[in-house]
Structure 1
Amino acid sequence: MTHVTATPTVTALASSLPPGMVVTDPDIVGGYRQDRAFDPQAGTPLALIRPHTTDQVQTVVRWCATHRVPVITRGAGTSLSGGSTAVDGAVMICTEKMRELRIDTATRTAVVQPGLFNSEVKAAAAAAGLWYPPDPSSFEICSIGGNVATNAGGLCCVKYGVTTDYVLALEVVLADGRAVALGGNRLKDSAGLSLTKLFVGSEGVLGIITEVTLRLLPPQPPAATVVAGFADVDAACAAVLAVTAEMRPAMLEFMDGVAINAVEDHLRMGLDRTAGAMLVAQSDAVGPAAAAEVEIITRAFTAHGAAEVFATDDAAEGEAFTAARRMAIPALERTGSLLLEDVGVPLPALPTLIDGIAAIADRQRVTISVIAHAGDGNTHPLIVFDPEDADEHQRAEVAFGAVMDLAIGLGGTITGEHGVGRLKKAWLPDQVGPDVMELTAVIKNALDPDGLFNPGVML
């Protein structure tokens, strides 16, 4: 391991912060070099800093601006696109100690520091009789700061939207050390440019988010769950289009046969191993509308060849199938190393995307399992490979790029919720075009003229 040495300048920085906040111990710093993208090229930070307050973040950023030291911002380290991979010689600011939260039931808002887990915000909201909807599959271990930085979505976003739909205000530390307050706890606000939204999904390249005001909703009504297995992915895709043509489900999730078997190997819950695909749908409509929506889903599944359709309004049974879908990525990680995609397309193109991914897998002779937030066209093709097999690893990398090229060609996106990070930035110009890339660079240069924030991410 490369050793991190406390330089006199870092020592001076440490003296301006509480004892122990600036960490240079190589054994500790080494644990923060990679995020869940596991980039083998991750560098070694000059120091790891875990602030508690906005003022402390400002102190660090001002020191970095003075000494022209890059800043990598890290939350819980669950980034799947390399958005918080360490860089040699940079200071890494980890927000994991920034964990204050307060709920205001009168305005139905939560004011949250970025280190809180998504699950903790949900729990606090629920304790106050409210609900925070965005629910990435990693909701138990991902942080709100990371969710805002990547505009995370999740299983219920088909009906309830993604993180940006719930961000009312931000406190952001800029590259010169200023802290700016954007937005407020108002549901309607048209004053000035929408700068709050500018920072949502900006992946730390424009500023460091130190506080978030989130909109909360009344509790979600009890959900009914409908599950079905299909002979192949084409039939399941046709069923998805049939459902969404008539209604907006509270959830509509897809798993292919490879994912089904990986999850069954882990959970042993009796999933149909012979199915080519499985759909898990939910309705949280109230009163007679609930039965009507379950009937629409059941009819669509049956009409498109589902071998068996299971419907339940038992919360525990429904949660078991939701948990199975959430377990797909960890279960597949047990079978080999993964390159995780996050491509999305307009819903009518979903069947073409999934068929095209299968063709790429055949062409490159690699396994690609597809799971998806099928109701909104956001898919997660998971490329499984043996890292010890150099040829297979290379073919997996080729497949990774081919999947993104396919999505772009279908009018889609290279990321629906994981972010561009470092892993996908080479394909961003192909999606958005040169004019948008130029405009993005103008904004970046205006807010971070020395390019110190998250170098190598997105741009």
Structure 2
Amino acid sequence: MDGLSALLPPGRVLSDPDVLRSYSHDEAEWAPWELPAVVVRPRTAEEVQVVVRYCVERGIPVVTRGAGTGLSGGANATAGCAVIALDGMRAIREIDPLEKLAVVEPGVVNDDLRAACAEQGLWYPPDPASSPWSTIGGNVATNAGGVCCVKYGVTGDYVLGLQVVTGTGELVRLGRRTAKGVAGYDLTSLLVGSEGTLGVITEVTVRLRPRREPEHTVAGYFSSVVAAGLAVERIAAAGLTPSALELVDRQCLAAVDEWKNMGLSADADTVLLGRTDAPGAAGDAEADAMVACFEAAGATWSARSTNQAEADALFDARRLAYPALERLGPVLTEDICVPVGRVAEMLGRVQAIGERHDTTIANIAHAGDGNLHPLLLTRPGDEDGRARAQAAFADIIAEALELGGTVTGEHGVGLLKRDGLRRELDPAVLALHRAVRDALDPHHVLNPGKVFGQENE
């Protein structure tokens, strides 16, 4: 692709094999990938446009990636493709305290935006567990959730507008900066969660909220994941909306402790972590009500935290669970979401699936909104274990759909959930999706093979 190098400033087009390999896949275990033909690290939207137009004219596949923290294979390179790596576009262009919005480039790290907003008394709520590393562009592409989404919603709830390079090479702006606006179709929301198949995001305008009150933390120990799931159902039935409600099992806590020496308790099979940011007496009352729900569901111990450092350590452990387990061997990560009233039942089914396939399954979850992350553990080089884990993975998807759930709550379809998507959506609905993709990417160069597989390429 010497012609592409001639169209861009020096250093943008990379072809060293070691560099190509480092940009060739995300964190999805066993999702297929190939070495790309080239990696391009643009610095402006106009440079992205040059790359897309060059690839459209020559029929070269384009795969866009941010930090590569995805867990579905959505950013995995295909043979002969050009990877557009947006990790170099890291400018926070604007934070507007009056309008409560921020304008950022796609390579801005989630936590960096949150920190910059906090300096002005503002808060950007979406907080995936990967927030110290994942980028806003990647969060938008997968419509990422996070710990506080049970109360405050997911990334798409905060995206006001986008600048995008389309599959025809046009550089366009979608959305608005105003609090309201219904002119035309909501193309911004269409791009959110599209996993790089409808356009390359080059700028994001997000809604902000005022900085919130300090949170009260409650913790409950349970004898099983099912018992913890029943506590989640009790909290919902009581009409409580915690600012976080996270589930972590003993295997995850032990792995984090082994890695980070945090001195975490091993007195429970499963821990539920709840938080409330309601102000004043309302926060006290909500925290007490969560403790009561824990106890009514059979918690072996539950209490409000009086030690902020301990409370923060438990939530840090929740965020570190996946990388801690990954140190021990390959981890195949699920991302199902079920109705809150079916959380306990689904957790029980996950246990049974693990036993049926002789596969160890650890559990973390955004339990408050039914988004479960069973983590299927294998040993390095154990091909039989890999096959069993993949069979268990498929069964978990099938069971979630049977309970009225979805195959992915926040990680995206990518490569790992394509079969599940076909099971979840009616053929007529799949046809609508493909028609939209044909309209925005008529040459089928944007992230081919992802989400819908090859049948639409």
TM-score using structure 2 length: 0.96
Moved more, 393-402 or 264-273: 264-273
Alignment of 1:7-406 (within 5 A): 10-39=1-30, 41-101=32-92, 102-246=94-238, 247-312=240-305, 314-406=307-399
Measure the CA separation in 2 of the matches of 1:119 and 1:272. 28
Measure the CA separation in 2 of the matches of 1:363 and 1:307. 28
CA contact (8 A) 1:222 1:315 kept: no
Measure the CA separation in 2 of the matches of 1:433 and 1:383. 29
1:420 aligns with 2:413: yes
Deviation at residue 185 of structure 1 after TM alignment: 1.2
CA contact (8 A) 2:247 2:272 kept: yes
Measure the CA separation in 2 of the matches of 1:171 and 1:285. 35
CA contact (8 A) 1:76 1:96 kept: yes
Deviation at residue 82 of structure 1 after TM alignment: 0.2
Per the alignment, residue 455 of structure 2 pairs with: none
Q: The residue matched to 1:211 in structure 2 has which SS?
A: strand
1:446 aligns with 2:457: no
Q: The residue matched to 1:209 in structure 2 has which SS?
A: strand
Query: Residues 73 and 329 from structure 1, CA distance in 2 versus in 1: closer, same or farther, beyond 3 angstroms?
Result: same
Measure the CA separation in 2 of the matches of 1:40 and 1:305. 40
1:7-29 deviation digits (Å, cap 9, x = unpaired) = xxx21111111011011111211
1:273-317 deviation digits (Å, cap 9, x = unpaired) = 241211000011101101110110111112222222231255433
CA contact (8 A) 1:223 1:315 kept: no
- Structure 1 unaligned segments of length 5 or more: list them: 1-9
Q: The residue matched to 1:220 in structure 2 has which SS?
A: coil
Q: The residue matched to 2:123 in structure 1 has which SS?
A: coil
Amino acid paired to 2:5: A
Measure the CA separation in 1 of the matches of 2:272 and 2:412. 25
Query: Residues 40 and 206 from structure 1, CA distance in 2 versus in 1: closer, same or farther, beyond 3 angstroms?
Result: closer
Amino acid paired to 2:193: G
Q: The residue matched to 1:327 in structure 2 has which SS?
A: helix
Q: The residue matched to 1:33 in structure 2 has which SS?
A: coil
Query: Residues 200 and 288 from structure 1, CA distance in 2 versus in 1: closer, same or farther, beyond 3 angstroms?
Result: same
Measure the CA separation in 1 of the matches of 2:300 and 2:419. 42
CA contact (8 A) 1:387 1:393 kept: no
Measure the CA separation in 1 of the matches of 2:250 and 2:29. 26
Measure the CA separation in 1 of the matches of 2:377 and 2:330. 6
Measure the CA separation in 2 of the matches of 1:412 and 1:294. 29
Amino acid paired to 1:255: V
Identity of aligned residues (%): 46
Measure the CA separation in 2 of the matches of 1:310 and 1:336. 34
CA contact (8 A) 1:150 1:417 kept: yes
Structure 1 runs (4+) greater than 6 angstroms displaced: none
Amino acid paired to 1:77: G
Measure the CA separation in 2 of the matches of 1:415 and 1:114. 23
Measure the CA separation in 1 of the matches of 2:62 and 2:228. 45
Superposition CA RMSD, Å: 1.2
Measure the CA separation in 1 of the matches of 2:263 and 2:67. 33
